[in-house]
Structure 1
């Protein structure tokens, strides 16, 4: 409990720092206005009592000079309270929106801070990130929600104090406010638990509906006619989510009603008591007016207190997820050991094994191999053999389940993750289609050179994309993608842009090309690899870079210095292209099968025409 309280205090201090950073003046003025709101409403009620009591006291006084001060006080209290309430609302919204922007960037910064990607494939992690992102607005207003709750509680307390001054028995009316807060809090707490439990279903519903708007999925969805079914399933999920929420919503409403009923019973009893005292001449008519006025205000104050308390509780619930995300990301803080500037020995795989879950089957088993500095290594195997998984292990996107990866004799796990990432480059088969201007879509491959037009042009040329970029309406400044009104590209053109992005770094230690030419025709692939071979040789000369090439096309793999054949998660063969062909093993079989598929029988023409 103490630890949880310290966590909340730490987050509140951090949020206060964000608020102060985005607007110092706004933070100070908002805090001051909250105090004006708190005391202004009580001032209105008290000034009304003075006015009514004054009317009774001066009932036979023909001079109205005594009215000046009470009227001024009443008018000032009304105006100050009304203006302060409006100003506080606008200032709070504006300030919270600014903090929310910074907080959202921070949340996704924590997500990006984790060097691996395995967590992005776990629903439990994604559920909590979703809850943090969804609750960033509530979290941004956490401090102000607490402040408003405190201001509302102060107003309620002062109103009850004024009631007690009228008659001590009216303290009972103040006590009837407690059930309202307690019961309303229980209802909201139950609803928050249900929302947490439904996080995965909510993400799935949004994803299914999102597929109906996804241009990449649109072709397949239209041809298969699956759009209505996807929408139906999403609607069914939404019905399940709302159904799960229905019980706590109804229960919360009933508890809320029970709380208000307690208050109304206390209010009726209080008014009856004061009326009896007025009739008996024990207290003045002003007291009755004060009680009626305070009762109306107390209702609004209770409403504000309840809503602010619920908002603060909602934000407090998000704090748990937010703090978990910060701790999770902090656990991956970089090692101070940087990657070497140059490879002298190379990269060694020492009994590397990997599985996606603790109880899952092994994807890789006891992989041991040495990738010499300056070499080009080809990975070959049928789909599902584990080639892409091995590439992700080499780049640090996954951590081995067993064994280790050594870089010039040092465990990769002991090197700074960001340092190793900045020493790697290349293209994966599931490359990103960044809908940005061309120069940015390519330039983000090396952020340090993002504004270096010469470096971007060089990378575009290395990827064989100069003709493509030259034909675009605004060249490097052309906006890509139709989502933002730009130019759409074919699959092969998008892949060339991705290849250019992967060639931005000129001094990497590891170059990875995982099926880099799957969307290119054979001639385009040949031209590309002539450029790439030069890029790899230059990198090897500068830094001893290791190039890892994954491809199903043996014309591509044949350029490798060393070929590793993977089957069922293990290395079954390795050697040069020539040696493996002569051995007549798995590699030779795959090569012969592909060569036969490309061969055209003499005199029969192309069988596909």
Structure 2
């Protein structure tokens, strides 16, 4: 299934449409925590159970203490010492229970801290692992970037939050059950009042949780723009232009404007949420003090003892807190489920399976063929390539010429199977690229794009990136560096191939644009297995003489390989065996330099204009 044609999961999940989906992701979050650390999960469960039981036990012992003290005061002298000793024993017992409760709560805090670190890393790793499986089309889609931003900003912290709310729900549920067991001895109606009093505030909280999530979904593009503006203002590769053109204050003001817009939305939601929460919370307060009056009047009427009155008052207060915590936990679980839906929406992004298994084609001497290839970018109306037919054999070189946007780089993306043709097919050694094993195919191709990555790593690792199997092989670094004409750069640096490049880390050295391009060229030669080498404007930062020298060197090193060059300098292009001129995604002219000059068409016109500029 092609992910670009498949129905993408909605950015407004079904979960957000109703409260019935509150537990939709709870099971998955629990499984995630369990598989992250079973010992910590078991410890959390046990400590949660104990933390739920101890408060009721403390309240019960407290009631016994009050009654024991009153009994000792009213007792005859002969029984006074025994009753006093009993009261003190109960005090010690309550102290031990309080200490045990404090230990359970500390243990819960410790388990949460340890799990938070492990689970945060686990979820972020899951997000990055998924990114490795995605197609280039996903990363060139703005809606997908919004989905990725949402997953990385919120969902990485939500699984633990959901699990802790689940454990908190269980803890308070155990507490409430133990409270109700004691409170029902006073009146079943008291238990009912206890539960119903917290519902209004809970319903309001659930409503505003959904509103907060919808707000989170809608403003993902603005959040991403804020992150982009931060990058522009705080990265060394942008600061020169930002300062030169005086763009800093403009971009900073735009950053502030986005913040103020988002702040106003947050403020309005928070004010409404807290206002409703306050007034609806008064219902619970009224219920609490109504119960106080009821219990006090029962004690005055001698229907219960003073110890029982103390216990019931404590049970009702703590019971109301437990009900409030339970309802808050359920509301929080609803909110966490909403945010977790964005994580799993991202993790379940459909990806086309690579079904190819071919590692060797039936016609090794046939090289590369493009047969009636056309391509349209996802979401675009105009095709980028139309009916492209090409053939290049081993030992031949081809140059692609055309204006920016004519489809040159897109053609390379199709060859490396970063994209698949919309129509037509591409063959390597007589075998359709779709049927090739992806790893085997890419082992055959060494590519340096115009916008190659400048890794903030060692110089040698920048070269070694061209072949991950030999990423740290210094002998291969030197060999590739010599082929890419980077030896002079290496000799000028204090630690040679072990010199850090870039300015992000200590002792890093920055290179000139031309030096970086020689490093990138060496990276292409790192993959010695590759018999197809593609250079997409890799020498744009060099002068014409240096570029000509490099391409002459490149041509000598690729005599038995397929070489594809993209360049705007025709003094270099003329070296190729065949030249393809692209216009508006179509092949306008095709032939050798001499043939195209005789044709006196678009290529001859461009060549003459450029040659005139050098005179």
TM-score scaled to structure 1, two decimals?
Answer: 0.90
| 2:173 aligned residue | 153
Cα distance between partner residues in 2 of 1:282 and 1:10:
47
| 1:603 aligned residue | none
Contact 1:349 1:370 in 2 (8 A): yes
Q: 5+ residue gaps in structure 2?
A: 1-13
| 1:39 aligned residue | 53
Give the secondary structure class of the aligned counterpart of 1:433.
Answer: coil
| 1:229 aligned residue | 250
Cα distance between partner residues in 1 of 2:531 and 2:291:
81
Cα distance between partner residues in 1 of 2:194 and 2:392:
80
| 2:546 aligned residue | 524
Q: CA deviation at 1:141?
A: 4.0
| 1:543 aligned residue | none
Cα distance between partner residues in 1 of 2:23 and 2:206:
22
Cα distance between partner residues in 2 of 1:482 and 1:140:
36
Give the secondary structure class of the aligned counterpart of 1:405.
Answer: strand
Cα 1:87–1:10 shift into 2, 3 Å: closer
Q: CA deviation at 1:299?
A: 5.2
| 1:213 aligned residue | 234
Q: CA deviation at 1:13?
A: 5.7
Cα distance between partner residues in 1 of 2:521 and 2:446:
10
Cα 1:419–1:70 shift into 2, 3 Å: farther
TM-score scaled to structure 2, two decimals?
Answer: 0.89
| 1:566 aligned residue | 582
Instruction: Give matches, 1:492-507, under 5 Å.
Output: 492-507=514-529
| 1:78 aligned residue | 98
Cα distance between partner residues in 2 of 1:243 and 1:336:
52
Give the secondary structure class of the aligned counterpart of 1:165.
Answer: coil
1:247 to 268, 289, 310: 268
Instruction: Give matches, 1:79-478, under 5 Å.
Output: 79-114=99-134, 116-135=135-154, 136-171=156-191, 172-298=193-319, 300-302=321-323, 304-305=325-326, 308-329=329-350, 331-340=351-360, 343-478=364-499
Q: CA deviation at 1:304?
A: 4.3
Q: CA deviation at 1:442?
A: 2.0
Give the secondary structure class of the aligned counterpart of 1:59.
Answer: helix
Contact 2:67 2:306 in 1 (8 A): yes
Contact 1:495 1:517 in 2 (8 A): yes
Instruction: Give matches, 1:24-63, under 5 Å.
Output: 24-61=38-75, 62-63=80-81
The answer to whether the aligner puts 1:15 opposite 2:32 as a matched pair is yes
The worse-fitting range, judged by mean Cα deviation, of 50-59 and 307-316 is 307-316
The worse-fitting range, judged by mean Cα deviation, of 564-573 and 244-253 is 244-253
Give the secondary structure class of the aligned counterpart of 1:425.
Answer: strand
Give the secondary structure class of the aligned counterpart of 2:587.
Answer: strand
The worse-fitting range, judged by mean Cα deviation, of 477-486 and 366-375 is 366-375
Give the secondary structure class of the aligned counterpart of 1:426.
Answer: strand
Cα distance between partner residues in 2 of 1:375 and 1:511:
11
Cα distance between partner residues in 1 of 2:22 and 2:360:
44
Cα distance between partner residues in 2 of 1:31 and 1:534:
69
Contact 1:442 1:504 in 2 (8 A): yes
The worse-fitting range, judged by mean Cα deviation, of 570-579 and 290-299 is 290-299
| 2:7 aligned residue | none
Cα distance between partner residues in 2 of 1:150 and 1:10:
14
2:592 to 570, 573, 576: 576
| 1:549 aligned residue | 565
Give the secondary structure class of the aligned counterpart of 1:532.
Answer: helix
Q: CA deviation at 1:567?
A: 0.7
The worse-fitting range, judged by mean Cα deviation, of 548-557 and 256-265 is 256-265
Cα distance between partner residues in 2 of 1:515 and 1:462:
18
Contact 2:459 2:500 in 1 (8 A): yes
